[in-house]
Structure 1
């Protein structure tokens, strides 16, 4: 039986690639976006499979109304893909409260609200999958991405706990951690006002984001295929890094963490009561 997907940010990047892959598999996609007009070509080509809905994931009331409408019309949501997002570059000192809160609204509070909205239905059916689009920056960070990574770290912590909560209920959680893929992420990001003291650190990240847009090595269509493969596997992984850069970065980070913990293990173990 075909699945019903609900994909946020479906008008571009990973969201569009996942929508196209699900359609090719014969599934139905409720394609959510702030600019649904960008989906006109997909709707025209697949009118019975692509159902566009206008949604801003930072609007909790709209989330509840849209999910209720989708369930009324389609009867179920088999796969929720929390994909909507954007990048941001700035040193922590440069990043304002407004910029930081805005990122958390998109990357954490929106996905949390959508997840809560679909869970009662998935619990009742004892089936379903929740796909969280994180980043390799959800496991590590570096200069310029402190705010961005903070939101992705939070999403991964939320999702890891969620996975334990819903696994006995027949619901799967998949955290996707892409590296550099040729999406519009770098082109649609925001930048904090610059302080000269961070020119040598954050400045390099700004330059990388501005100059690499459109030349990233990752293919979103192949990423979408990998996500579907993971969802269809007998044992879906909790985390799925995508791209050689992400795999290398995650493994390197884990090795560095293990090395440091081992180096300080003796001191760490002396902190218990005698």
Structure 2
């Protein structure tokens, strides 16, 4: 059965690879980007299957318009993929209020407002699938990425809440947790305006690792992401969480083990009780 997809952040990277894969499979796709002209080639290659829409997820009116575009073009939305995001670099002390607010406006408030805009369509359809592109950073903290990590933790909490609230309406929710992908992520990192020399040992190591992602032969390709999400869309009972990439699985397994061990130690020591 052909499905109708609305995808954010399709100008490059994971979003572009996913939109192209879905169109090649005969799916109906509303591909969005802040500058819709960047999608002209994708639309030209897949006439009839892909329509483009300008969407900055920070803009509530554009979020509403993107959903209306999907309804007008294809009659509704079956799967929403909240993919648009960016990384704010910097340690906790270095990131300003304005930089933190901007990070959350795109990475957290954007998916929230777009999903809120599509929920009336899903209530009317009595079905829908909200896909939130998180990260291993949604469960594993990385030094030098405090704001980005916090935003992904927040996305996962919001997505889990949506699953609890809207499941009875036929709404499914999946949190994607990709590892490192060759997407140009590091090139789009926003650096903090004010740097603090004491954090150089943390920042330099993390920044070097991020900038090296696109040059490593073993890094995950956007096509892997597209293949996994395409198959996810065909599932009758999709999982709530889905790691993507062997590096993601390794990071998350270690995180789960560490949290379980810490929890067990706290409970055994009785620190959770008041004596």
Shorter-chain TM-score range: over 0.9
2:222 equivalent among 220, 223, 227: 220
Aligned: 1:270 with 2:240:
no
- 1:131 is matched with which residue? 131
- 1:88 is matched with which residue? 88
- Report the Cα offset of residue 6 of structure 1: 0.6
* CA displacement, residues 218-250 of structure 1 (integer Å, 9 cap, x when unaligned): 011111111222232342110111111110000
Number of corresponding residues: 272
Aligned: 1:189 with 2:192:
no
- 2:245 is matched with which residue? 243
Runs of 4+ in 1 over 6 A off after TM superposition: none
**Structure 2: runs of 5 or more not aligned:** none
**Structure 1: runs of 5 or more not aligned:** none
- Report the Cα offset of residue 214 of structure 1: 4.2
* CA displacement, residues 76-112 of structure 1 (integer Å, 9 cap, x when unaligned): 0111110001112110101011111111011111100
- Report the Cα offset of residue 66 of structure 1: 2.7
Q: 1:234 and 1:62, CA in 2 relative to 1: closer, same or farther beyond 3 A?
A: closer
* CA displacement, residues 111-149 of structure 1 (integer Å, 9 cap, x when unaligned): 000001001111111111111010000011121011101
Contact 1:7–1:80 at 8 Å: present in 2 too? yes
Structure 2 counterpart SS, 1:89: coil
Taking the TM superposition and a 5 Å limit, the aligned residue runs for 1:112-261 are 112-192=112-192, 193-215=194-216, 217-261=219-263
Contact 1:182–1:219 at 8 Å: present in 2 too? yes
- 2:38 is matched with which residue? 38
CA RMSD of aligned residues (A): 1.5
* CA displacement, residues 157-187 of structure 1 (integer Å, 9 cap, x when unaligned): 0001111112221111111010100112111
- 2:8 is matched with which residue? 8
Structure 2 counterpart SS, 1:154: helix
Q: Distance in 1 between matches of 2:134 and 2:215?
A: 20
Structure 2 counterpart SS, 1:191: coil
